[in-house]
Homo-oligomer: A and B are copies of this chain.
Amino acid sequence: MQIGILGSGVTAQTIGSRLVQLGHEVMLGSRDEANPPAVTWANDAGQHALYGTFMNAAAFGEIVFNCTLGSASLDALTQAGAENLQGKILIDTANPLDRSTDVWTLTICNTDSLGEQIQRAFPETKVVKTLNTVNANVMVDPAKLLEKTDVFMSGNDIEAKATVKAILRDWFGWKSVIDLGNITTARSVEMYVLLWHSLRNAISSQRFNIKVVTS
Spell out A's residues near B (CB within 8 Å): 103, 105-106, 109-111, 144-147, 149, 152, 178-181, 184-185, 187-189, 191-192, 194-195, 197-199, 201-203, 205, 207-215
Q: Would A178 and B199 count as touching, CB distance under 8 A?
A: yes
Which of B111, B195, B201, B213 contacts A105 (CB under 8 A)?
B111
Who on chain B is nearest to A186 by CB? B198
Q: Would A198 and B213 count as touching, CB distance under 8 A?
A: no
Q: Would B147 and A213 count as touching, CB distance under 8 A?
A: yes
For A184, the chain B residues whose CB sits under 8 A away are: 103
Bound together, the chains give a CA A203 to CA B201 distance in angstroms of 29
Copies per assembly? 2
Who on chain B is nearest to A178 by CB? B202
Which of B189, B203, B214 contacts A214 (CB under 8 A)?
B203
Who on chain B is nearest to A209 by CB? B213
Given contacts A106-B110, A191-B191, contact A149 B213 (CB under 8 A): yes
Which of B152, B180, B185, B210 contacts A212 (CB under 8 A)?
B210
Which of B111, B185, B210 contacts A213 (CB under 8 A)?
B210
Who on chain B is nearest to A215 by CB? B207
Bound together, the chains give a CA A192 to CA B188 distance in angstroms of 7
Given contacts A109-B109, A109-B110, A191-B195, contact A146 B202 (CB under 8 A): no
Bound together, the chains give a CA A201 to CA B184 distance in angstroms of 13
Q: Would B213 and A208 count as touching, CB distance under 8 A?
A: yes
For A181, the chain B residues whose CB sits under 8 A away are: 198, 201-202
**What are 26 A-B interface contacts by the 8 Å CB criterion?**
A103-B187, A105-B111, A106-B110, A109-B110, A110-B110, A144-B215, A145-B213, A145-B215, A146-B215, A147-B211, A147-B213, A178-B203, A179-B202, A180-B199, A180-B201, A181-B198, A188-B194, A188-B197, A189-B195, A191-B194, A192-B195, A203-B214, A209-B213, A210-B210, A210-B211, A210-B212
Shortest distance from the beta carbon of A6 to any chain B beta carbon, whole Å: 25
For A198, the chain B residues whose CB sits under 8 A away are: 152, 180-181, 185, 188-189
Who on chain B is nearest to A192 by CB? B195
